[in-house]
Structure 1
Amino acid sequence: MNDGPYFLSGSLGDYHIFPDGRVLLSGTHIMSDSIRGFEGTYELIWFTNTGYLDTTRVHRNANGPIWGFKELPDGKFICSCSCTQYEGQPVSRLFRVHADGALDTTFQTGVNWGNIFAYHPLPDGRVYAGGRYKRANAPNDTLFLARFLPDGSLDPTFAPPSITMGGLAADYGPLITWLQPWPGGHLIASGEFGSVNQMSRESIFLLDSTGAVTAAFDNFHVGIYQGQFGANASINWITSVSTDTLYICGAYIGLNDGTTNDPQQRFVSRLLVSGLGVGVENVPTHTNLQLWPNPVSGTCMVELEELPPSAVLIVRDALGRERLRQPVRSHSTTLDLHTLSDGLYFLELRTGNERLAVQRLVVQH
């Protein structure tokens, strides 16, 4: 990127890679493109898929760094910054831009203090934001996780959790640094904290779509890592390859999941979350539901000894998205799964708004 004559990297914020290999970079950087009128510091900058400055795009500037941003389902971006102006217009610390980087003035959050580190957008335009921040119209209310409506106002159907350090003797919290979607509209939040809604939750917890904290991770403990600049007990990043396994990364030494205490765990760990009550635990089980074969390569058979009224079978992927729905009209139902890609899914049996059973389903073509 620095090999071209127009760009000199400065403080890196975040980046987004488009499907065609182009890159959108944030932070605060120096541009020297006098031909096209881009001179001085810029905070959103486009690059081609070869790494050179994209001279066909309009680069955007602010009066402070843009630290993080996330693409939304409609192609827009939600951004967090240490700035008060963007392209000469006033903005809060959490604002939204169009796909070309132009400010979207229809989104007004009023966030005027703190930092947002994590986002999770929803298909309907709402978005979760995690960090530690305040809004101008509620200066005494510190938010750690909130859900915003498409216009930037708080979603009244979501109760932001109250987060403190509790008994965790670390120096940098409380704050949330990562949001990981989970099946059924749930969300895993991590960071550095010791208590959520006055319940012991050390640096990781699971909540549902209303903001209610579940029983998952109730006996989970992270050990203190004494670093050069203070004590840490944080889980900063999460990724999952299935709903059985989480990989976590952070600054800690020692983990205790309530069953196993391993003082040698540090910095990167794998959690077998099926044993922690995460995901689809605590769902009533219809004991007469049978599914075979499993794993399945094409079609599978679902057998029900009892036939619930108006029942349907729903196949969801690991993020809870519905991929197949089929009414149940007899005790035996054949599901055609040829169109599903390989991976882990969940089969739900429902009647009305009641979920009667759920089983893991593996597709392997």
Structure 2
Amino acid sequence: MSLPRLVTLLAAALLLSGPASAKDKGPKKPEPTPEQRTEIRQLMRRAVGGRHEARRSEAATKLGRMGPVAEMAVPSLVQALKDRDVSVGCAAANALGRVGVYSKAAVKGLTATLSKGRDPLLRASAAEGLGMIGALARKPAARPLLSALTHKDQDLRREAAKALGLVSEGDEKLTKQAIKAIQPLLSDDEKRVRRAAALSLVRLGDTSPKLVDLLKATVTKSGRAIVEERRDASAALGKLGAAARSAVPTLIAAVREEAQINKAIPYAEQRRAQHDEFRRAAVVALGEIGDPRARAALERAKQTSALAEAAEAALAKLPPEGEGEEKSDSEGESDDD
């Protein structure tokens, strides 16, 4: 084949492949198989026409578990938001957040329910669904989510704060607005609202001392938070980096905290594993903060199999030994005693 002919063929191939490459950018919507379509249609009918509320709720939940592949169910789930039984509407809202990640119709239905839903729990579920969808819901959902932060119902306040943290990411103007609106919830009467607000503020980049103090209180055993909440608060402190230096003693205490679990109780091993996850989150956070006071505690953590790998990585992030080490870890633990 001559060189000019080869060049011509290559150019043609590039022209043909160009538009296809542009179209390939970004994630593609998953398409259901024929078998999945049949199942989705059956569940759609049951979600809106099932005789008992438990059956309707179960159908909506199953659709949600299928994720975006079940997007064809969005119209039925939007209809189910108006079900006479609130539990069905809540299940539909959660499902829409899972199947409707590419769907403006899902966003529209959830936003309308958030704004005008007849029950606070249903509105809270709609806020949760919008948070799951994320950036696609940003523009239509921002105003009603901001408004819901001051609602008298604690579940709605909590879910609105969580959703704002998810939909605002990537939008500088809305992020500033959301931080300003969520910050007062750090003083909310309800503990779960305060914690949701704190985690959202971390996601949005807030580093206020009050935020750090609330997260520290959640990590401590005396804060009476469940272990998953303590784990999430530890991770959040790590995301704050150097701004969370005051939390170093709290996190050191968390790393050292042995699980007090009776082997005879159900799910004892599962509970121990959850506690190890919490301690591991504290180890990672100490590495992200990068304070040399954590060195001794991290060295000891290397001797525990569940923490060893995380501790090794955290130690690698600390400054060279002797640099900036004003206190040992034991000298800084009075915060938690």
TM-score where L is the length of structure 1:
0.28
Structure ranking higher on relative contact order (CA contacts 8 Å, 6+ apart): 2
Higher strand share: 1
Larger helix proportion, structure 1 or 2? 2
Calculate the TM-score normalised by the size of structure 2: 0.30
* Structure of higher CA gyration radius: 2
